[in-house]
A and B are shown apart, each in its own frame.
Chain A
Amino acid sequence: SQQGEEDPQALSIQEGENATMNCSYKTSINNLQWYRQNSGRGLVHLILIRSNEREKHSGRLRVTLDTSKKSSSLLITASRAADTASYFCATDFNNDMRFGAGTRLTVKP
């Protein structure tokens, strides 16, 4: 079974609003990563957070990690139409990287 589970499965917001996606996982991890996929393309890495970190920022992205709850969240601030894509969390444990089913984000102009 897949390691990560994203929530919600789909999210639709207006441009300028913030988007929050959540990821839960089941086992111990070395790190957790977030990826973005535009329709029909390969995945692009967004951010990596290690198991001993609690929060990380990169531009308009903010990621949190709570290892006690086995969960992570990705916040995209001031969203743009170009942020429309699918977002996936991936967990690494001993080089075995597993992905969740993803959140489909639609940002309306």
Chain B
Amino acid sequence: NAGVTQTPKFQVLKTGQSMTLQCAQDMNHEYMSWYRQDPGMGLRLIHYSVGAGITDQGEVPNGYNVSRSTTEDFPLRLLSAAPSQTSVYFCASSFLAGEAGELFFGEGSRLTVL
């Protein structure tokens, strides 16, 4: 069982570069989300989606774009990377039955912006 797969696991960018973090799940989950985790800050919600074609902003959406063209995939795009976006990024998914259920997490993508 693959579960939630994130790629790449590690990435180094220069300031101003753009990139896409990929997230795929094979559990037919309606709900998918992206978080960033910084030391001492816990996880902060960037964007989330309750189904294909539907996305919404979380707590810290600035500098990030998302789209949900299929149920399985939820890519996160950094438009113009900044050092403040250095973080560990986690993708998560869950079934949705009127409310968010148990989240299944990927193993994370560690991004460094120089």
A54-94 residues with Cβ-Cβ distance < 8 A to B are 88, 90, 92
- The reply to whether A99 and B42 contact each other, CB–CB distance below 8 Å, is yes
Residues of B within 8 Å of A42, CB to CB, are 4, 90, 105-108
Binary CB contact string for chain B from 15 to 56 against chain A (1 if under 8 A, 0 otherwise) = 000000000000000010101000011111100101000001
Instruction: List residues of chain B with CB within 8 A of the CB of A31.
Output: 99-100
**Interface of chain B: mostly helix, strand, loop or mixed:** strand
Tell me which residues from 53 to 102 in chain B have a Cβ below 8 Å from any Cβ of chain A.
56, 58-59, 90, 92, 96, 98-102
**A106 on the B face (CB < 8 A):** no
Q: Are B96 and A95 in contact (CB under 8 A)?
A: yes
Contacts A30-B99, A42-B107, A45-B102 given; does A95 touch B90 at CB 8 Å: no
Size band of the interface chain B makes with A: 20 to 34
Residues of A within 8 A of B33 (CB): 97
Give how many A residues have a beta carbon under 8 Å from the other chain's beta carbons.
25
**Secondary structure type dominating chain A contacts:** strand
Distance in Å: Cβ of A11 to nearest Cβ of chain B:
16
A2 contacts B42, C-beta separation under 8 Å: yes
Whether A44 lies near B105 (C-beta < 8 A) is yes
**Closest Cβ–Cβ distance, residue A9 to chain B (whole Å):** 8
Residue from B31, B43, B50, B58 in contact with A88 in the complex, judged by beta carbons closer than 8 Å: B43
* Bound CA–CA A60/B58 (angstroms): 33
| In the complex, chain A residues whose CB is within 8 Å of the CB of B31 | 95
Q: Measuring CB to CB, which residues of chain B are less than 8 angstroms from any residue of chain A?
A: 4, 31, 33, 35, 40-45, 48, 50, 56, 58-59, 90, 92, 96, 98-108
A-side interface residues toward B, CB under 8 Å?
1-2, 4, 30-31, 33, 35, 40-45, 48, 88, 90, 92, 95-102
